């Protein structure tokens, strides 16, 4: 029989893994300019490749990618 109290058991519960940002993953893991990454994101989204992603996460990713594209244009 376990000698852990209920509170001790709760403290040892594993944390849920933090969800990775789609945009951050694209920016970090995919080669190319922000504009190319945005085009790829749009193609994958249009083909249903992000069907299991939360719509809020997708909107946030698209916004961030568009901001990166604007920064590229302004800085180049």
Tens digit of pLDDT for each residue in 3-28?
A: 555 555 556 666 656 667 777 787 78
Residue 27 CA, chain-centre distance (Å), reads 10
Mean pLDDT of 50-68: 91
The closest alpha carbon to 41, from 18, 58, 53, 57, belongs to 58
Please give the mean pLDDT across all residues of the chain: 81
The whole-angstrom separation of Cα 63 and Cα 16 is 26
Domains of the chain: which residue ranges? 20-75
């Amino acid at each position: 029989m376990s000698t852990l109290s209920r509170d001790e058991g709760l403290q040892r519960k594993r944390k849920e893994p933090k969800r990775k940002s789609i945009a951050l993953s694209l920016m970090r893991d995919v080669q190319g300019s922000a504009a190319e990454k945005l085009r790829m994101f749009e193609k994958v989204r249009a083909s249903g490749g992000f069907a299991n992603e939360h719509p809020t996460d997708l909107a946030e990713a698209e916004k961030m990618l568009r901001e990166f594209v604007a920064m590229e244009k302004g800085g180049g």
